[in-house]
Amino acid sequence: MRDDTTRMLVNRAQFDNSNETRDRIRERTPAVRAIEHTVEYLDLVGSCHGFVATLGRLVP
């Protein structure tokens, strides 16, 4: 797509479709939110671990 407006509109439509699909899945399957929460928590723990490991290498 050479036209920037068309590319932006297609991208927006794909994004909106993804959001609607995700919302429907969340409504049908409550366990999905718990799984997402667990993944977000693990991402946070991993980021903290990386931060502490980097500090450990920088401090000495």
Q: What is the pTM of this model?
A: 0.53
Specify the pLDDT at position 1: 67
SS3 state at 30: coil
Q: What is the pLDDT along the chain (60 residues), one digit of tens a residue?
A: 688 899 999 999 999 999 999 889 888 888 888 888 999 999 999 999 999 999 999 887
SS3 state at 1: coil
Domain that holds residue 10: 4-58
Specify the pLDDT at position 54: 94
Q: Cα dihedral sign for 19, 24, 25, 26? A: positive
Amino acid at 38: T
Q: How many domains does the chain have?
A: 1
Q: How far is it, in rounded angstroms, from Cα 38 to Cα 56? A: 27
